[in-house]
């Protein structure tokens, strides 16, 4: 066979597919993939409408010409496909840099038009299966940009159409054979297997070798872009500092300004503030504070550097940070109005941001000329340092110190705090290294203080740390973390306060952390030689890696069961078990004939000779008995069954019991029975 003949054979159309239902299901799956790309903003509305209409026309054309394909169609479709690929590469080369959002938009357009082109030449079942595979590609491209569970509607619709199309494929391949009803036990088995597979499915990983997207959204200008917008007084600014007169709003967390007043607490809700796609979970840092006055933390009044290079912005290494670290990439999707702080994982080195300039403080705080509004998207590449406890213990003995100005700021206290220092020395008396001392302080705080936001403001004139440690020992994150920082400073450990967000709950469907307003947080950063500022928190725990989808769903299920209570959970599980038991009871053999037939059919399946659809009991028994050399085994039992069904007198109780015993013995023997295609021995 030469090359030309091989190509002709490979492109020879298969038998024409006559199923209209199958075509409708396949076309529907492809249309849902196109609409999903439109919902994620990867193609325009005009392109989506045109593609769906042309797809439907193509499916109708292919159906009408399935038996007699039009010869000129294949060359025209090949030319169209070449043109689409040419458009893709021309547009790709025109991009100034590899923005993943642009690349995925071009990929979506490419997949859409390839899918539409292919729809005009799907005469056979094999061609329709390619369309289903193509729709999966469209859903994958759309899913890469999905940031909320709205995309789940498209996934559910697409999955239902694909499942129905697979059933239709099977029905068409079987020549229109009888449709079998779903078995409840089978459905449960599929769900169990799928659930177990989900439990072992690894967490998605974000690639870090390509520039990620940025977009402007509904941003608002701020009065002074070199300070957090919480300092502003403009009524249009979405982030305002907290005050005793009113509840703090989203973006009005009592941080996110140049002052963090620990005597106040914010009234924060479950509203989603932003969503984050990250290579690993961490604290999303907004700003740090180094000056403590007994009630409030103040950001250092050091010069702010303006970077006017445009995106991507290359940032200086923050003071006290290691020169190197592990690459960490995060993309932030802003949902609710927030401050002009650019949140990031420590320490940020490169930022893709939709403005022409950014402002950076020596501590690594990044400020934007606009307050971030809904729809704003930006990406940060950080070089994070994640040493082990052993490495931090070893670093305590290194002869490396902070810059004198930074060290003075990281040890500053408004007074000697004699009681605090005495308590800190007593708690850390047996701790040999800086790391062990910090962990000892955290351990004491966790045991001897209680976290709560339901407490009154700190009385005027009182010191927050003294009031917490030597008063009722109840406080919220700003107060408890401040106590840790002051205790560390009182025994000579450089520490500072940080404000931002904890990662928030992880959504395994979108692969995003959904940061809520109540995730606004304050914690402590301690400086270690070689490894820089390391985060410690006595009130929250950040996981070391992105959780797997199964672990997340199990955790959500556990929280859900905790909310509904144990009795309801037991009732649900009991109802499910009862349903399975009833189903099994209804499917049990009710007569001795049914029990014997069950053993006979099981023996046939085990021996490789299942019973045919139209095969009588006698014919099946003869096939199982195989050859005359082995002697009849099932035939006498089959004769008794036929006598029971068609004879004048029913079998005696003794005959029935004997038939049941023999059938059970033969089924357990599990002899290999020759199939109809094998020669008899």
Which pLDDT belongs to residue 236? 37
Please check whether residue 201 lies inside any domain of the structure: no
DSSP per position, 554-600: HHHHHHHHHHH-HHHHHHHHHHHHHHHHHHHHHHS--SHHHHHHHHH
Which pLDDT belongs to residue 88? 75
Can you tell me the distance from the alpha carbon of 297 to that of 223, in angstroms, rounded to the nearest whole number?
A: 22
Question: Do 574 and 518 belong together in one domain?
Answer: no
CA distances from 467 to 480, 489, 594, 614 (A): 11, 18, 80, 87
Can you tell me the distance from the alpha carbon of 27 to that of 20, in angstroms, rounded to the nearest whole number?
A: 11
Name the CA radius of gyration of the chain, rounded. 35
Long-range contacts of 449-456, Cβ-Cβ distance < 8 Å, separation of 24 or more:
449/473, 449/474, 449/475, 449/480, 449/483, 449/538, 450/474, 451/475, 451/476, 451/477, 451/480, 451/539, 452/476, 453/265, 455/265
Can you tell me the distance from the alpha carbon of 471 to that of 465, in angstroms, rounded to the nearest whole number?
A: 9
Please check whether residue 186 lies inside any domain of the structure: no
pTM over 0.75: no
Can you tell me the distance from the alpha carbon of 162 to that of 136, in angstroms, rounded to the nearest whole number?
A: 9
Q: What is the DSSP letter of 610?
A: P
Q: Which residues contact 598 (CB under 8 A, 6 or more apart)?
A: 589
Please check whether residue 188 lies inside any domain of the structure: no
β-pair type (259-261, 272-278): unpaired
Can you tell me the distance from the alpha carbon of 139 to that of 40, in angstroms, rounded to the nearest whole number?
A: 10
Question: Do 162 and 230 belong together in one domain?
Answer: no
Please check whether residue 680 lies inside any domain of the structure: no
Can you tell me the distance from the alpha carbon of 273 to that of 554, in angstroms, rounded to the nearest whole number?
A: 25
Can you tell me the distance from the alpha carbon of 495 to that of 528, in angstroms, rounded to the nearest whole number?
A: 10
Question: Do 375 and 268 belong together in one domain?
Answer: yes
Question: Do 346 and 484 belong together in one domain?
Answer: yes
Which pLDDT belongs to residue 411? 93
Q: Would you say 130 and 62 are in contact if contact means Cβ atoms under 8 Å apart?
A: no
Q: What is the DSSP letter of 353?
A: -
Can you tell me the distance from the alpha carbon of 375 to that of 377, in angstroms, rounded to the nearest whole number?
A: 6
Q: What is the DSSP letter of 432?
A: -
Please, what sign has the CA dihedral across residues 236, 240, 244, 250?
positive
Residues of the chain with pLDDT under 50: 96-99, 208-209, 232-253, 627-630, 671-681
| Domain encompassing residue 624 | 592-669
Which pLDDT belongs to residue 40? 80
Which pLDDT belongs to residue 680? 37
Can you tell me the distance from the alpha carbon of 492 to that of 412, in angstroms, rounded to the nearest whole number?
A: 10
Question: Do 365 and 456 belong together in one domain?
Answer: yes
Q: Which residues contact 207 (CB under 8 A, 6 or more apart)?
A: 329
Q: Would you say 486 and 262 are in contact if contact means Cβ atoms under 8 Å apart?
A: no
Question: Do 335 and 462 belong together in one domain?
Answer: yes
Buried b / exposed e along 441-463 (16+ C-beta atoms within 10 A): bbebbeeebeeeeeeeebeeeeb
Q: What is the DSSP letter of 230?
A: G
Q: Would you say 496 and 485 are in contact if contact means Cβ atoms under 8 Å apart?
A: yes
Q: In sequence order, what are the beta bridge partners of 276? A: 332, 513
Please, what sign has the CA dihedral across residues 408, 414, 416, 419?
negative
Q: Would you say 451 and 539 are in contact if contact means Cβ atoms under 8 Å apart?
A: yes
Question: Do 132 and 227 belong together in one domain?
Answer: no
Which pLDDT belongs to residue 104? 67
Buried b / exposed e along 184-213 (16+ C-beta atoms within 10 A): eeeeeeeeeeeeeebeeeebeeeeeeebbb
Please check whether residue 249 lies inside any domain of the structure: yes
CA distances from 161 to 63, 137, 421, 571 (A): 19, 15, 67, 33
Closest CA to 503 of 279, 351, 290: 279
Can you tell me the distance from the alpha carbon of 493 to that of 473, in angstroms, rounded to the nearest whole number?
A: 23
Question: Do 456 and 503 belong together in one domain?
Answer: yes
Can you tell me the distance from the alpha carbon of 543 to that of 530, in angstroms, rounded to the nearest whole number?
A: 23
Q: Which residues contact 87 (CB under 8 A, 6 or more apart)?
A: 109, 110
Q: Any idea what the CATH number is for the domain that residue 449 is in?
A: 3.10.620.30
β-pair type (305-307, 296-298): unpaired
β-pair type (474-475, 450-451): parallel
Question: Do 573 and 605 belong together in one domain?
Answer: no
CA atoms within 13 A on the CB side of 560: 8
Q: Would you say 444 and 427 are in contact if contact means Cβ atoms under 8 Å apart?
A: yes
DSSP per position, 300-329: ---PPEEE-S-SSEEPPPPTT--S--EEEE
Question: Do 339 and 463 belong together in one domain?
Answer: yes
Closest CA to 552 of 582, 608, 512, 522: 512
Domain count, the chain: 4
Please check whether residue 490 lies inside any domain of the structure: yes
> Rounded to 5 degrees, what are φ and ψ at 534?
-115, 135
Question: Do 59 and 105 belong together in one domain?
Answer: yes
Question: Do 281 and 398 belong together in one domain?
Answer: yes
Please check whether residue 207 lies inside any domain of the structure: no
Q: Would you say 389 and 353 are in contact if contact means Cβ atoms under 8 Å apart?
A: no
Please check whether residue 2 lies inside any domain of the structure: no
DSSP per position, 54-110: HHHHHHHHHHHTSSS--TTHHHHHHHHHHHHHHHHHHHHHT-SS-BHHHHHHHHHHH
- Name the 3-class secondary structure at 293: coil
Can you tell me the distance from the alpha carbon of 275 to that of 457, in angstroms, rounded to the nearest whole number?
A: 31
């Amino acid at each position: 066979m030469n090359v030309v003949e091989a190509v002709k054979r490979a492109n020879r159309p298969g038998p024409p597919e006559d199923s209209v239902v199958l075509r409708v299901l396949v076309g529907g799956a492809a249309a849902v993939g196109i609409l999903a790309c439109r919902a994620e903003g990867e193609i325009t509305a005009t392109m989506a409408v045109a593609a769906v209409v042309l797809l439907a026309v193509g499916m109708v054309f292919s159906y009408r010409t399935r038996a007699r394909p039009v010869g000129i169609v294949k060359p025209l479709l090949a030319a169209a496909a070449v043109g689409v690929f040419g458009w893709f590469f021309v547009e790709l080369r025109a991009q100034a840099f590899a923005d993943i959002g642009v690349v995925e938009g071009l990929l979506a357009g490419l997949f859409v038009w390839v899918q539409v082109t292919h729809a005009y030449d799907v005469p056979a079942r094999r061609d329709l299966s390619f369309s289903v595979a193509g729709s999966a590609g469209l859903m994958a491209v759309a899913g890469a940009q999905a940031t909320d569970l709205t995309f789940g509607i498209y996934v559910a619709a697409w999955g239902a159409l694909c499942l129905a199309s697979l059933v239709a494929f099977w029905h068409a391949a079987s020549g229109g054979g009888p449709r079998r009803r779903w078995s409840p036990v089978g459905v449960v088995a599929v769900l169990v297997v799928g659930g177990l597979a989900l439990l072992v499915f690894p967490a998605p990983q974000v690639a870090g070798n390509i520039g990620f997207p940025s977009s402007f959204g509904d941003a608002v200008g701020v009065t002074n872009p070199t300070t957090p917008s919480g300092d502003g007084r403009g009524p249009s600014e979405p982030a305002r500092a907290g005050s005793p007169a009113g509840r703090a709003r989203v973006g009005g967390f009592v941080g996110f300004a140049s002052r963090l007043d620990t005597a106040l607490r914010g009234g924060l809700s479950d509203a989603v503030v932003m969503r984050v796609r990250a290579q690993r979970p961490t604290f999303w840092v907004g700003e740090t504070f180094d000056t403590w006055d007994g009630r409030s933390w103040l950001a250092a009044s050091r010069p702010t550097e303006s970077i006017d290079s445009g995106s991507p912005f290359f940032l200086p290494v923050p003071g006290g940070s290691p020169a190197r670290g592990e690459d960490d990439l995060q993309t932030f999707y802003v949902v609710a109005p927030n401050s002009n702080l650019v949140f990031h994982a420590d320490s940020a080195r490169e930022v893709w941001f939709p403005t022409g300039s950014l402002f950076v403080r020596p501590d690594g705080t990044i400020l934007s000329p606009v307050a971030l509004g809904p729809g704003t998207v930006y990406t940060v590449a950080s070089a994070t340092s994640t040493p082990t406890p052993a490495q931090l213990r070893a670093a305590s003995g290194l002869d490396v110190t902070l810059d004198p100005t930074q060290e003075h700021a990281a040890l500053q206290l408004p007074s000697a705090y004699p009681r605090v220092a005495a308590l800190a020395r007593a708690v850390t008396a047996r701790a040999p290294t800086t790391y062990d001392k910090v962990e000892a302080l955290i351990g004491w705080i966790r045991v001897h203080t209680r976290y709560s936001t339901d407490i009154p403001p700190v009385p005027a004139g009182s010191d927050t740390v003294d009031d917490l440690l030597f008063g009722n020992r109840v406080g919220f994150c700003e107060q408890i973390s401040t106590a840790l920082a002051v205790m560390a400073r009182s025994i000579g450990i450089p520490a500072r306060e940080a404000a931002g967000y904890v990662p928030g709950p992880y959504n395994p469907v979108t692969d995003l952390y959904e940061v809520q307003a109540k995730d606004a947080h304050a914690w402590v950063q301690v400086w270690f030689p070689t490894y820089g500022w390391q985060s410690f928190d006595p009130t929250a725990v950040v996981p070391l890696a992105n959780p797997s989808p199964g672990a997340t769903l199990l955790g959500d299920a556990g929280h859900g069961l905790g909310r509904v209570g144990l009795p309801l959970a037991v009732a649900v599980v009991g109802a499910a078990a009862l349903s399975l038991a009833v189903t099994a009871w209804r499917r049990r053999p009710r007569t001795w004939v049914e029990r014997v037939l069950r053993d006979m059919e099981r023996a046939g399946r085990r021996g490789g000779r299942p019973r045919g659809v139209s095969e009588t009991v006698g014919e099946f028994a003869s096939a199982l008995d195989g050859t005359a050399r082995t002697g009849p085994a099932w035939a006498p039992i089959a004769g008794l069954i036929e006598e029971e069904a068609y004879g004048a007198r029913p079998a005696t109780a003794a005959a029935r019991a004997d038939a049941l015993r023999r059938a059970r013995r033969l089924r357990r023997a599990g002899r290999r029975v020759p199939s109809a295609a094998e020669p008899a021995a």
